[in-house]
Amino acid sequence: MVYHLHITNKNYSSWSLRPWVLMRALSIPFTEHMHELHELVPGSYAQPQWSAFSPVAHVPCLHDVSSSPSSETETETETLILWDSLAIIEHLSETHPQLAIYPRSPPARAWARSATAEMHSSFAALRSEMSMNIGLRISLTGRGGPSAALEADLARLDALWREGLRRFGGPFLAGPDFGAVDAFYAPVALRVQTFVGAEEALGEEARAYVHRVVRVPAVREWVEAALAETARDRLHDEDSIAGRRVIADLRAVA
């Protein structure tokens, strides 16, 4: 099998980060296809030009190209297309059962799957008020501070991380290995770095986990590439800043 992973700008795309970081951390080979963002239509993250490789014009999108002999002289090629981050992770778990994408033990596996799915479907306030922008440092206390909904999301995040770390012994959320659940929460750790003041809502164990995750080599590789990008997306930046004070901009300048 040959993997082709379609993603977009690393500074902004939390969903692209998730499968990319997992595959890199677990040494699953793939070819990266970077697609620059065009000007977004307010209220939508779809990019119509991406329909050439994704049925929903979104990223990430994984193409799994497999070849098998159809006769003694010919080879048949089949391409499986997965256009959702969680679907990609589940597919990789099925095709690479030898890897610790999910933990081996049933209790840890059930917890990791549930926590991964919770990240995929929940934390709406966190996504809205702390949108991904790796290269900026923004004061979370501006514009009246975090909403009650964001405070509730951060409290849930703290409780969830603490539960996983205590129950399965760390250093990662479901035990000793970096896996799917950590890949799904890695963008959250980066958001905590971006939004100065967010760490104060987390307990000691969750703060330590943030610092641990951002030091994972695959995460560091992604961050370095994100900071080297010179492309800017106005709507993403406006959404991230949202009238709050920008403390620093660490991004490269063209």
d(C-alpha 26, C-alpha 164), whole Å: 21
Which residue has 């070819």 as its token pair?
31
pLDDT at 81: 98
Q: How far is CA 231 from the centre of its chain?
A: 20
Mean pLDDT, residues 190-215: 98
Phi, psi of 80 (to 5 degrees): -95, 130
Mean pLDDT, residues 42-49: 74
pLDDT at 38: 84
Q: What is the pLDDT of residues 145-168, one digit of tens each?
A: 899 999 999 999 999 999 999 999
* pLDDT band, very low/low/confident/very high, at 141 (cuts 50, 70, 90): confident
pLDDT at 158: 99
Please determine, for residue 87, whether its predicted confidence score (pLDDT) is greater than 80: yes
pLDDT at 76: 80
Mean pLDDT, residues 55-66: 96
Mean pLDDT, residues 189-214: 98
Burial of 248 (0-12, 13-18, 19+ CB in 10 A): exposed
Q: Domains, the chain, ranges and CATH?
A: 2-249 (1.20.1050.130)
Please determine, for residue 84, whether its predicted confidence score (pLDDT) is greater than 60: yes
pLDDT at 70: 59
Please determine, for residue 212, whether its predicted confidence score (pLDDT) is greater than 70: yes
Q: What is the pLDDT of residues 112-138, one digit of tens each?
A: 999 999 999 999 999 999 999 999 999
CB atoms closer than 10 angstroms to residue 56: 11
Decide: 60 and 53 in contact? Cβ < 8 Å: no
Q: Position 233: which residue type?
A: D
Q: What is the pLDDT of residues 189-201, one digit of tens each?
A: 999 999 999 999 9
CA angle 218, 224, 229 (to 5 degrees): 130
Mean pLDDT, residues 234-250: 95
Residues 6+ apart with CB under 8 A from 159: none
Q: pLDDT exceeding 90 applies to what percent of the chain? A: 86
* Residue 115 zone, left/alpha/beta (φ > 0; ψ -120 to 50; rest): alpha
Decide: 195 and 147 in contact? Cβ < 8 Å: no
